[in-house]
Structure 1
Amino acid sequence: MENYLPGQIVTLTVKRVIDTGYVLTDTDHEALEILLHTNEAGDTKLTEGDAVDVYLYHDKQKQLIATTTIPHVTTDVFDWAEVTEVKPGLGVFVDIGTSKHVLVSNDDLPEFMSAWPTVGDVLYVTLKHDKNNRLLADPVTETDFEGNWDLATDALFNQDLGARVFRSGKEGAVAITDDGYRAFIHHTERKREPRIGEWIEGRVIKVKPDGTLNMSLLPRKQEAQEVDAEKLLTYMQQNDGEMPYTSKTDPEVIRQTFEMSKAAFKRAIGKLLKDRRIIIGDTKIVLTESKSDPS
């Protein structure tokens, strides 16, 4: 048994047929017995002496068992695997194409859970064994991609692209686009730290000489202006049609109150003024439909 590990794809022989399935063995090690349950044999009908290709994994009792379902992720092959369960303190489980989902250890996930993937996110993984020969899924690193990135052209500048995040940290995140380009998102070009495995939509703000991209997850100024203006409108509508903030208000107060910069605040105010939605006073701003005195 010591020669066989979970995660391996091997060819074994049917030693005998039983009510619940098949007992498999290695003709060179006939003491070996591994169960292939009927539910894991699919439509395959086997008889004694038949050879069958199987994938090995541990069941809940830590017994090594087999399935004829071959996963799309192996110890030699990377592929995308969807997150099916999150276990704080332990890690996340991913679906590699078999009934037994595989753990990505918290040791291989970001330090802060806010950057952990959630159910439905997709990680690019391979399989590995820990020191106790426990099967784990191992997320890809940039080193694994080294030299395999597709080279972006200048035509992508300012284009909207979708990408999957595979590294995330305080300084920034790295994602791979649908077309295989490496995209870096600096922390100043996002409102929050994206999760690894998360699908993001951004725009290309720079095509670098080495063919990689810099992306921004922030909306374009015109789009942001509309969103920010709506945020100010909602605030005033919920506060008797006014707010005690103007272009003279301290930038930090603006940031803490509305989560926007002073420049963005001014642009939003400018839009509301142009649309004749507000009246600006010395100490406050009021909605035009409000009867408050803005002075």
Structure 2
Amino acid sequence: MAELTAGMITTLEVSHKAPFGYFLSDGGEQEVLLHENDVTGKLSEHERITVFLYQDHQGRIAATTSIPTVRFDAFDWATAVSLHKKYGVFLNIGINKDLLLSKDDMPYNWENWPQPGDRVYCSLKLDKKQRLFARLADETEVRKLSVPAPDKLRNKNVHATIYRLVPDGAHVLTDEGYIGFIHDAEINGTIRLGQALECRIIDVKENGSLNLSMKPRSYEMIEGNSEKIITYMNSRDGAMPYWDKSLPEDIRERFGISKGDFKKALGQLMKEGKLYQKDGWSYLKQDK
């Protein structure tokens, strides 16, 4: 009789009822606990049920009738529930015990680890001590999910999930199943493995993969910076001590943008008749 180990899906017989669940038997000397939290309905002695085996919080083999879609021979998406710098990230695979994705299998900087709510594509593996862990899908497995993108998608927006981080950017899979890459130059802020993003398609390659950008289109950037300026001026009764000849470092400190982007936003606001400049200050035009 094969040894019962974590990660197995097997059919066992109900041996007897216990105050905290049922003991299941493989017909030999091996018994595992099916905790009452994992029982739906009443079970009878000698009834045979299919279960998934895992290690409980004491490291003992336990059973659940919830069969996860993440298995040794099957990859699926699992949601991060907690991050522990000492160990890694715990994932929900659909059973009552979260599964560890070890820090050894993740980026060096924990800021790039999945946060609660992020999703990773993974299967199962056992370490040398027969402990159950999550195993990240490699490029080959992710590409089995993918389909080539049509050229007409250029400049469209897509939603994607980061499945691999590399020194010069991030590999993603879109909701439609397109493989994409975001170069460092097109990334905004710190990104994470498993993070969901909205990206802009900047190129569709011959093999159907995508080059993507997290940065807004130029007109979207101008609109966003204009709103930032208007909000600041409204907080100061419609005036601010900044204009198109202000020092770049002063603009960066106040608005977090370059002088070039600041001047584009000011120019747009003046073109729309919302703002004018005088003696080193900018003023909102008041409605008459």
Q: TM-score, normalised by structure 2?
A: 0.88
| Structure 1 segment 33-182 matched on structure 2, within 5 A | 33-43=31-41, 45-48=43-46, 50-146=47-143, 148-169=145-166, 171-182=168-179
Q: What per-residue deviation string (whole Å, max 9, x for no partner) do you get for residues 164-217 of structure 1?
A: 111235521111011110111112222213222221112211001111001111
Match of 1:293 in 2: none
In 2: Cα distance, 1:216 partner to 1:230 partner: 22
Q: What per-residue deviation string (whole Å, max 9, x for no partner) do you get for residues 39-76 of structure 1?
A: 3232252322x332111111122111111111111111
Amino acid at match of 1:51: R
Q: CA deviation at 1:144?
A: 2.5
Match of 2:198 in 1: 201
Divergent runs of 4+, >6 A: none
**In structure 1, the residue corresponding to 2:91 is in which secondary structure?**
strand
Q: Which runs of 5+ in 2 are unaligned?
A: none
1:18–1:244: structure 2 CA closer, same or farther, 3 Å change rule?
A: closer
Q: CA deviation at 1:287?
A: 1.2
Match of 1:233 in 2: 230
Q: Which runs of 5+ in 1 are unaligned?
A: 291-295
Report if the CA contact (8 A) 1:168-1:193 is conserved: no
Aligned residues: 285
In 2: Cα distance, 1:267 partner to 1:169 partner: 34
**In structure 2, the residue corresponding to 1:31 is in which secondary structure?**
coil
Match of 1:271 in 2: 268
Q: What per-residue deviation string (whole Å, max 9, x for no partner) do you get for residues 237-288 of structure 1?
A: 55672234525744x6644543333432221111121133333357x33214
Amino acid at match of 2:14: V
**In structure 1, the residue corresponding to 2:30 is in which secondary structure?**
strand
Report if the CA contact (8 A) 1:5-1:57 is conserved: yes
The Cα RMSD (Å) is: 2.5
Report if the CA contact (8 A) 1:206-1:215 is conserved: yes
1:253–1:75: structure 2 CA closer, same or farther, 3 Å change rule?
A: farther
Amino acid at match of 1:45: L
Q: What per-residue deviation string (whole Å, max 9, x for no partner) do you get for residues 142-179 of structure 1?
A: 23224652111111111111111112355211110111
Q: TM-score, normalised by structure 1?
A: 0.86
1:210 and 2:207 matched: yes
Match of 1:24 in 2: 24
In 2: Cα distance, 1:204 partner to 1:167 partner: 18
In 1: Cα distance, 2:42 partner to 2:123 partner: 27
Q: CA deviation at 1:83?
A: 1.4
Amino acid at match of 1:246: D
Report if the CA contact (8 A) 1:187-1:193 is conserved: no
**In structure 1, the residue corresponding to 2:29 is in which secondary structure?**
strand
Q: What per-residue deviation string (whole Å, max 9, x for no partner) do you get for residues 97-141 of structure 1?
A: 111111111222222232222211211111111222211112223
